[in-house]
Amino acid sequence: MDSKRSSAAFAVFAAGALLVAGCGTDQNIPSGGINPALEGLQVECGEQSISAEGSSAQKNAMDVFARDYSLKCPGEQLNYTKSGSGKGVSAFNSGQIDFGGSDSPLDPEDGEDKEAAARCGGNPAWNIPMVFGPVALSYNIPGVDDLTLSPEVAAGIYQGKITSWNDPAIQQLNPGTELPDLDIVPFFRSDESGTSENFQEYLTTATDGAWTGEGKQFEPAPGVGQGRDGSDQVAQSVQGTPGGFTYAEWSFPKNLGLGIAKVDSGSGPVELSTENVGKAIESAEIGGEGHDLRVDLDSIYGNDAPGVYPIVLNTYEVVCSQGYDPETAKAVKALLTVAANADPDQLEEAGYAALPEGFKQKVLDAVDAIA
């Protein structure tokens, strides 16, 4: 990278703030100033801004990445549109954007990998995970700020089997808590969503198959719940509805101040915290070939060890291994390198857990191999 460009990015914070304001992702940017890891980071900035689209689950992380990218590569921007994982993959495969954001890897059964390879000039596309985000079981129960749920109860709510907050199955998990005779109002993602896909996979694994829904389209029992488009909409619906309940990435209920349930997988209640999510990530197995880094989340979802918070998804950036023009390749590599080095504290403030150090190096190796 040009040392003058790097020095200019860090010389005057006010100048960096102006760049951020122009990048189009100025909401939910954490406080705390410049990420110190960027100052000595070497990247080769491309001579163009980057366009990307997809997962709303990683939108708040993209705000962090966009701010850091504009500081590291002055004059360049990340323009990220949150539209859902399905639309992000489609936009990438049709060549409308430089990379797609998805909460799940390309699906070979749907032909997504072949479409992506065609878009990349006959070269394979890679799924590169950038951050891990816990999924919260979020609720709005007036007067109740400490609640424990189990995967069986969460599944039962969306199956229409558990309809009131004082149901015996919930009361058993919360001895000593006075739960109201209040209807549960479930909300779910109505759009195609990697969050829904991962949450359904979690329910299936954690309930030993009692939940049968699968895929990006959430599948509650007929007539159960209300669908909303996007994670922000389901969280806002819970906020405005006494008795409301949903699943959403940590950042959304966290930013709205909603109740977040502890999860009891059989070894006692576990709070959603960075430490407890980290224990789950440490257990994850890595699949894929070469630099295609697919995370086997079943090894997380079925983990019932004490202190492990198991509802964790990871966001992927779907990129071409080869096939970009030279300047686009430089820009994509610079952005992803910056993203992999995001400040852990700033990511936590935004509702995410940073890449574990060992896995971070695998990500950086994959990014460096993009041609």
Residues making up the binding site for phosphate: 55-57, 85, 103, 193-195
Q: Using H for helix, E for strand and C for coil, what is the string for the chain?
A: CCHHHHHHHHHCHHHHHHHHHCCCCCCCCCCCCCCHHHCCCCCCCCCCCEEEEECCCCHHHHHHHHHHHHHHCCCCCEEEEECCHHHHHHHHHCCCCCEEEECCCCCHHHCHHHHHHHHCCCCCEEEEEEEEEEEEEEECCCCCCCCEECHHHHHHHHCCCCCECCCHHHHHHCCCCCCCCCECEEEEECCCCHHHHHHHHHHHHHCCCCCCCCCCCCCCCCCCCEEECCHHHHHHHHHCCCCEEEEEECHHHHHHCCEECEEECCCCEECCCHHHHHHHHHCCEEECCCCCCEEECHHHHCCCCCCCCCCEEEEEEEEECCCCCHHHHHHHHHHHHHHHCCCHHHHHHHCCECCCHHHHHHHHHHHHHCC
Q: Which residues are annotated as a binding site?
A: 55-57, 85, 103, 193-195
